[in-house]
Amino acid sequence: MQIQENFSLKQYNTFGIDAKAKQFSFFSTSDELADLLEYSKEPPACILGGGSNILLTKDIDGTVLKNEIKGIEETGEDDNYIYVKAGAGENWHQFVQYCIGRNWAGLENLSLIPGNVGASPMQNIGAYGVEIKEVFNSLTAFHIHDRTIHTFTTGDCEFGYRESVFKRKYKNEFVILRVTFRLHKSPVFHTEYGAIKDELERMQVSSLSIKAIARAVINIRTAKLPDPKVIGNAGSFFKNPSIPHSDFLRLKEKFDSIVGYNNPDGTVKLAAGWLIEHSGPKEGISWKGYRTGDAGCHAKQALVLVNYGNASGKEIFELSEAIMQSVEKKFGIMLEREVNIYR
Ligand code: EPU
């Protein structure tokens, strides 16, 4: 067990914020995690995965433990499915590629999402018409106080839009150890999302495959979303808000080009990127492409806030506040952050 003091987390959060942890250590098994918890006595201040969904606005006056649990194994199969278990510390995109390489289908639309396997159920990650809950089977998680290992099925996780029990009622109680996915032996293609259809056409794909879909998703993401290795970011900073249909009609009368999608429950999910693009720090100036110091709003996708180099977490947080206030003022809609804020 190696514990480092006053440790910079700059390499361990995709925003690239230079906040420090009072103590820092890795764990690669549940026994190592138990030992670290025993040693540090008090509960960890933060469990880090890939650091791709967190904004650190100050130093962490406590222990940060980074999940490095690795390993991918096939745990079973039936007529239709392959069951595959991955360590929470596996890189998400590498895991997706591993599955695509074996022709196990279901994760291709989720290619190139930054972060690790452990965050995928925590967040119910989703993109281009697919959410993790559709391919999730179960997970094991370590209870920080009881030091026991629990199994969670799909029902136990209470998945919602970018939500699960691990972000709400069990917040900071469990450490996700391993996740088992149920992948299709014969692919079920999800190409209904407009951008995928357009990209597949542009690629002139003659016979559809999970590899072609993954390629299309990778092309779209690289064109629109900044690579965290080049420009610090944590993907979508805000959630897309849902509003009653009647409110949507009222907004549509005033703002003809507003973008919304019908939810199955009759409400309308608005594209927060559109709301942000159509508001700004001053009348006539859009947030999209706006920069103050090293904090900014991405020029190709307004839902993504970026760190051009040396922004502090506080500066990015303040920019997010200003964006929320102006969207509220113009459209009467309060945006909700998707990224976890450490403050
Ligand atoms: N739009 C604008 N201006 C912008 C950005 C978007 O007008 O600056 C409008 C466009 O009309 C576009 C629509 O918003 O057609 C939707 O945009 P996009 O397809 O880029 O998706 P999104 O709703 O902005 C969500 C997820 C992304 C995911 C994409 C694709 C959330 C919070 N974000 O973004 O997830 O990749 O759909 O499925 O739901 C993430 O969670 O970190 C993430 C990147």
Show the tokens assigned to 119. 């965050």
Protein residue with least CA distance to atom 34, ligand 1: 236
DSSP strand pairing (54-56 vs 340-342): parallel
Q: Considering the entire predicted model, what is its pTM?
A: 0.96
Q: Which tens digit of pLDDT belongs to each residue from 124-148? A: 999 999 999 999 999 999 999 999 9
Contact 308, 231 (CB under 8 A): yes
Average of per-residue pLDDT values in the chain: 97
Q: How far is the CA of 241 from the centre of ligand 1 (A)?
A: 12
* pLDDT value of position 87: 98
Residue in 219, 339, 226 with CA at minimum distance from that of residue 272 = 339
Q: How far apart are CA 233 and CA 237, in angstroms?
A: 8
Query: Which residues, listed in sequence order, are joined to residue 326 by a DSSP beta bridge?
Result: none
Which DSSP state fits 133? G
Domains, the chain, with CATH or none: 4-67 (3.30.43.10), 72-224 (3.30.465.10), 232-342 (3.90.78.10)
Cβ contacts of residue 207 below 8 Å, gap of 6+?
A: none
pLDDT band at 263 (very low <50, low <70, confident <90, very high): very high
Contact 111, 82 (CB under 8 A): no
* pLDDT value of position 42: 87
Residue in 335, 329, 333 with CA at minimum distance from that of residue 282 = 329
Residue in 57, 145, 51 with CA at minimum distance from that of residue 89 = 51
Mean pLDDT of 25-49: 95
Q: Which tens digit of pLDDT belongs to each residue from 271-288? A: 999 999 999 999 999 999
Query: Which residues, listed in sequence order, are joined to residue 27 by a DSSP beta bridge?
Result: 67
* pLDDT value of position 164: 97
The residue whose two tokens read 């649990």 is: 69
Buried b or exposed e, range 40-66, using 16+ CB within 10 angstroms: beeebbbbbbbbbbbbbbebbeebbbb
Query: pLDDT above 90 covers what percent of the chain?
Result: 98
- What H or E segment, with its residue span, contains residue 318? helix 313-331
Q: Which tens digit of pLDDT belongs to each residue from 197-238? A: 999 999 999 899 999 999 999 999 999 999 999 999 999 999
Ligand 1: nearest atom to the Cα of 298: 8
pLDDT band at 309 (very low <50, low <70, confident <90, very high): very high
The residue whose two tokens read 């016979």 is: 207
The residue whose two tokens read 């080049």 is: 230
Residue in 72, 86, 70, 60 with CA at minimum distance from that of residue 32 = 70
Q: Where does the chain show beta strands of DSSP type E?
A: 4-8, 20-27, 46-48, 54-56, 60-67, 72-77, 81-87, 126-127, 130-131, 136-143, 149-153, 174-184, 232-236, 242-243, 260-262, 268-270, 291-292, 295-297, 304-307, 340-342
* pLDDT value of position 143: 98
Contact 172, 137 (CB under 8 A): no
Transcribe 139-166 into DSSP letters: EEEEETTT--EEEEEHHHHT-BTTB-TT
- Is 91 in a helix, a strand, or coil? strand
- Is 47 in a helix, a strand, or coil? strand
pLDDT band at 194 (very low <50, low <70, confident <90, very high): confident
pLDDT at 1 over 90: no
Question: Which residue type is seen at 133?
Answer: K
Q: Which tens digit of pLDDT belongs to each residue from 175-188? A: 999 999 999 999 99
pLDDT band at 78 (very low <50, low <70, confident <90, very high): very high
Mean pLDDT of 315-340: 98
Mean pLDDT of 252-278: 97
Contact 272, 240 (CB under 8 A): yes
Mean pLDDT of 141-159: 97
Q: How far apart are CA 287 and CA 277, in angstroms?
A: 6
| Cα first-last separation, the chain | 28
pLDDT band at 94 (very low <50, low <70, confident <90, very high): very high
* pLDDT value of position 41: 82
Q: Which residues line ligand 1 (CB under 6 A)?
A: 127-128, 195, 235-236, 239-240, 259, 271, 273-274, 277, 288, 301-303, 338
**Considering Cα of 269, then 272, then 274, then 279, what sign does the dihedral take?**
positive
Residue 162 bears catalytic tag: yes
* pLDDT value of position 21: 98
Mean pLDDT of 242-265: 97
Q: Which of 25, 134, 162, 326 is catalytic?
A: 162
Mean pLDDT of 317-336: 98
The residue whose two tokens read 């249909």 is: 245
Residue 338 bears catalytic tag: yes
pLDDT at 121 over 90: yes
The residue whose two tokens read 């995109």 is: 93
pLDDT band at 99 (very low <50, low <70, confident <90, very high): very high
Q: Which of 55, 236, 269 to mutate to test the pocket of ligand 1 (most atoms within 8 A of CB)?
A: 236
pLDDT at 29 over 90: yes
* pLDDT value of position 44: 95
